[in-house]
Protein backbone atom coordinates (compact mmCIF):
# COMPACT_ATOMS: atom_id res chain seq x y z
CA UNK A 1 0.00 0.00 0.00
CA UNK A 2 2.72 2.52 0.91
CA UNK A 3 4.64 1.76 -2.28
CA UNK A 4 1.65 2.42 -4.59
CA UNK A 5 0.42 5.89 -3.65
CA UNK A 6 -0.86 7.63 -6.82
CA UNK A 7 0.97 10.89 -7.51
CA UNK A 8 3.44 10.32 -4.67
CA UNK A 9 6.06 13.09 -4.63
CA UNK A 10 8.84 12.92 -2.05
CA UNK A 11 9.73 16.23 -0.44
CA UNK A 12 9.05 18.54 2.46
CA UNK A 13 5.47 19.74 2.89
CA UNK A 14 4.33 22.46 5.29
CA UNK A 15 0.87 22.14 6.83
CA UNK A 16 -1.46 24.85 5.56
CA UNK A 17 -3.20 25.96 8.76
CA UNK A 18 -5.96 27.77 6.89
CA UNK A 19 -7.00 24.50 5.22
CA UNK A 20 -6.30 22.10 8.10
CA UNK A 21 -7.95 21.52 11.46
CA UNK A 22 -8.14 19.41 14.60
CA UNK A 23 -11.55 18.56 16.03
CA UNK A 24 -12.54 16.45 19.01
CA UNK A 25 -15.57 15.03 20.75
CA UNK A 26 -16.22 13.77 24.25
CA UNK A 27 -19.30 12.09 25.70
CA UNK A 28 -21.07 14.59 28.01
CA UNK A 29 -23.54 13.61 30.74
CA UNK A 30 -23.20 10.08 29.34
CA UNK A 31 -25.91 10.75 26.73
CA UNK A 32 -24.55 13.13 24.10
CA UNK A 33 -21.26 14.30 22.65
CA UNK A 34 -19.74 17.76 22.86
CA UNK A 35 -17.55 18.74 19.94
CA UNK A 36 -14.86 21.33 19.62
CA UNK A 37 -12.02 22.56 17.48
CA UNK A 38 -8.45 23.52 18.24
CA UNK A 39 -6.94 26.01 15.82
CA UNK A 40 -3.37 26.86 14.99
CA UNK A 41 -2.34 23.53 13.43
CA UNK A 42 1.23 23.87 12.14
CA UNK A 43 3.85 21.38 11.12
CA UNK A 44 6.02 19.68 8.58
CA UNK A 45 5.61 16.44 6.68
CA UNK A 46 8.67 14.92 5.05
CA UNK A 47 7.70 12.39 2.39
CA UNK A 48 10.74 10.17 1.91
CA UNK A 49 11.71 8.22 -1.21
CA UNK A 50 10.55 5.13 0.69
CA UNK A 51 7.10 6.18 2.04
CA UNK A 52 7.46 4.18 5.28
CA UNK A 53 10.50 6.34 6.17
CA UNK A 54 8.43 9.55 6.01
CA UNK A 55 7.93 11.72 9.09
CA UNK A 56 5.48 14.22 10.55
CA UNK A 57 5.86 16.84 13.25
CA UNK A 58 2.87 19.00 14.16
CA UNK A 59 1.78 21.42 16.85
CA UNK A 60 -1.47 23.05 17.94
CA UNK A 61 -2.22 25.90 20.31
CA UNK A 62 -4.69 24.60 22.95
CA UNK A 63 -5.62 28.15 24.00
CA UNK A 64 -7.55 28.38 20.70
CA UNK A 65 -10.03 25.72 21.81
CA UNK A 66 -13.58 26.47 20.70
CA UNK A 67 -16.61 24.43 21.76
CA UNK A 68 -19.09 27.25 21.00
CA UNK A 69 -19.48 27.95 24.74
CA UNK A 70 -17.20 30.66 26.17
CA UNK A 71 -17.53 29.52 29.80
CA UNK A 72 -16.71 25.91 28.91
CA UNK A 73 -13.76 27.04 26.76
CA UNK A 74 -12.39 29.10 29.68
CA UNK A 75 -12.72 26.05 31.96
CA UNK A 76 -10.96 23.84 29.39
CA UNK A 77 -8.03 26.30 29.30
CA UNK A 78 -7.72 26.15 33.11
CA UNK A 79 -5.64 23.84 35.28
CA UNK A 80 -8.62 21.45 35.58
CA UNK A 81 -8.03 20.50 31.96
CA UNK A 82 -5.35 21.81 29.60
CA UNK A 83 -3.49 24.39 31.72
CA UNK A 84 -2.76 26.38 28.58
CA UNK A 85 -0.67 29.05 30.29
CA UNK A 86 1.77 26.42 31.56
CA UNK A 87 1.47 24.20 28.45
CA UNK A 88 0.89 26.52 25.46
CA UNK A 89 1.60 23.91 22.79
CA UNK A 90 0.73 20.30 22.04
CA UNK A 91 2.99 18.32 19.72
CA UNK A 92 2.83 15.15 17.66
CA UNK A 93 6.01 13.54 16.34
CA UNK A 94 5.73 10.46 14.18
CA UNK A 95 7.79 7.37 14.93
CA UNK A 96 6.75 5.21 11.98
CA UNK A 97 4.11 4.11 9.51
CA UNK A 98 2.51 0.70 9.11
CA UNK A 99 -0.18 -1.04 7.11
CA UNK A 100 -2.69 -3.43 8.67
CA UNK A 101 -4.94 -4.97 6.03
CA UNK A 102 -6.29 -2.00 4.06
CA UNK A 103 -5.57 0.50 6.88
CA UNK A 104 -2.63 2.90 7.09
CA UNK A 105 -1.45 3.94 10.56
CA UNK A 106 0.99 6.65 11.54
CA UNK A 107 2.44 5.90 14.96
CA UNK A 108 3.91 8.65 17.07
CA UNK A 109 4.29 10.46 20.35
CA UNK A 110 1.64 12.95 21.47
CA UNK A 111 2.74 15.52 24.03
CA UNK A 112 -0.23 17.13 25.74
CA UNK A 113 -0.18 19.05 29.01
CA UNK A 114 3.45 18.11 29.64
CA UNK A 115 2.81 14.37 29.28
CA UNK A 116 4.02 12.34 26.29
CA UNK A 117 2.24 9.13 25.26
CA UNK A 118 2.31 6.91 22.17
CA UNK A 119 -0.66 7.20 19.82
CA UNK A 120 -1.61 5.65 16.50
CA UNK A 121 -3.44 7.67 13.87
CA UNK A 122 -5.64 5.82 11.39
CA UNK A 123 -4.96 7.72 8.16
CA UNK A 124 -6.96 8.12 4.99
CA UNK A 125 -4.63 9.48 2.34
CA UNK A 126 -6.40 12.04 0.15
CA UNK A 127 -3.76 12.35 -2.54
CA UNK A 128 -1.11 14.65 -3.96
CA UNK A 129 -1.64 17.07 -6.80
CA UNK A 130 -1.51 20.63 -8.07
CA UNK A 131 -3.60 23.38 -6.52
CA UNK A 132 -4.95 26.48 -8.25
CA UNK A 133 -1.94 28.57 -7.16
CA UNK A 134 0.70 26.37 -8.82
CA UNK A 135 1.71 24.51 -5.65
CA UNK A 136 1.86 20.77 -5.10
CA UNK A 137 -0.51 19.91 -2.28
CA UNK A 138 -0.91 16.73 -0.21
CA UNK A 139 -4.00 15.91 1.82
CA UNK A 140 -4.99 13.39 4.45
CA UNK A 141 -7.53 12.72 7.18
CA UNK A 142 -6.64 10.99 10.44
CA UNK A 143 -8.39 9.91 13.60
CA UNK A 144 -7.52 8.46 16.95
CA UNK A 145 -8.94 7.99 20.44
CA UNK A 146 -7.04 8.93 23.57
CA UNK A 147 -7.83 8.71 27.26
CA UNK A 148 -7.63 12.11 28.92
CA UNK A 149 -6.56 10.47 32.19
CA UNK A 150 -3.39 9.25 30.41
CA UNK A 151 -2.42 12.92 30.15
CA UNK A 152 -3.25 13.82 33.76
CA UNK A 153 -6.69 15.27 32.99
CA UNK A 154 -9.00 13.77 35.58
CA UNK A 155 -11.49 16.52 36.48
CA UNK A 156 -15.05 15.19 36.55
CA UNK A 157 -18.37 15.44 38.38
CA UNK A 158 -20.67 12.59 39.39
CA UNK A 159 -24.19 12.89 38.02
CA UNK A 160 -27.35 11.98 39.94
CA UNK A 161 -28.50 9.34 37.46
CA UNK A 162 -25.18 7.52 37.79
CA UNK A 163 -21.97 7.89 35.89
CA UNK A 164 -19.96 11.04 35.44
CA UNK A 165 -20.23 14.27 33.47
CA UNK A 166 -17.38 13.49 31.03
CA UNK A 167 -16.10 10.27 29.55
CA UNK A 168 -12.41 9.49 29.71
CA UNK A 169 -12.30 8.80 25.96
CA UNK A 170 -11.63 11.68 23.58
CA UNK A 171 -12.11 11.14 19.84
CA UNK A 172 -9.79 13.29 17.72
CA UNK A 173 -10.09 13.94 13.99
CA UNK A 174 -7.51 15.76 11.90
CA UNK A 175 -7.77 17.18 8.39
CA UNK A 176 -4.44 18.12 6.82
CA UNK A 177 -3.65 19.99 3.65
CA UNK A 178 0.08 20.59 3.14
CA UNK A 179 2.06 22.43 0.49
CA UNK A 180 5.31 21.06 -0.93
CA UNK A 181 8.27 23.35 -0.38
CA UNK A 182 10.83 24.08 -3.05
CA UNK A 183 14.01 22.04 -2.58
CA UNK A 184 16.80 23.94 -0.84
CA UNK A 185 19.81 24.50 -3.08
CA UNK A 186 22.97 22.81 -1.83
Bigger pLDDT: 132 vs 99: 132
Residues 6+ apart with CB under 8 A from 100: none
Q: Does the model's pTM come out above 0.85?
A: yes
Tell me the chain's radius of gyration from C-alpha atoms: 18
Domain that holds residue 66: 2-178
pLDDT in the model for residue 186: 60
Asked if 117 and 145 touch (Cβ cutoff 8 Å), the reply is no
Residue 186 lies in a domain: no
CA dist., res. 43 & res. 56, Å (int): 7
Residue 185 lies in a domain: no
Residue 153 lies in a domain: yes
Residue 30 lies in a domain: yes
pLDDT tens digit sequence for 66-123: 999 999 999 999 999 999 999 999 999 999 998 888 888 999 999 999 999 999 999 9
DSSP 167-186: EEEEEEEEEEEEEEPPPPP-
Residue 183 lies in a domain: no
Confidence of residue 59 (pLDDT cuts 50, 70, 90): very high
Query: Which residues face 147 on adjacent strands?
Result: 169
CA dist., res. 171 & res. 23, Å (int): 8
User: Domain total for the chain?
Assistant: 1
Residue 127's CATH number: 2.40.128.110
Amino acid sequence: MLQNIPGYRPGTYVIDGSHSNVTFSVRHMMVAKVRGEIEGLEGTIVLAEQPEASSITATVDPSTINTKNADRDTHLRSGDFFATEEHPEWTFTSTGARVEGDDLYIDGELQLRGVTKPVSLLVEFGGIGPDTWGNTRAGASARTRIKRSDFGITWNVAIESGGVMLSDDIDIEIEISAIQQAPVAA
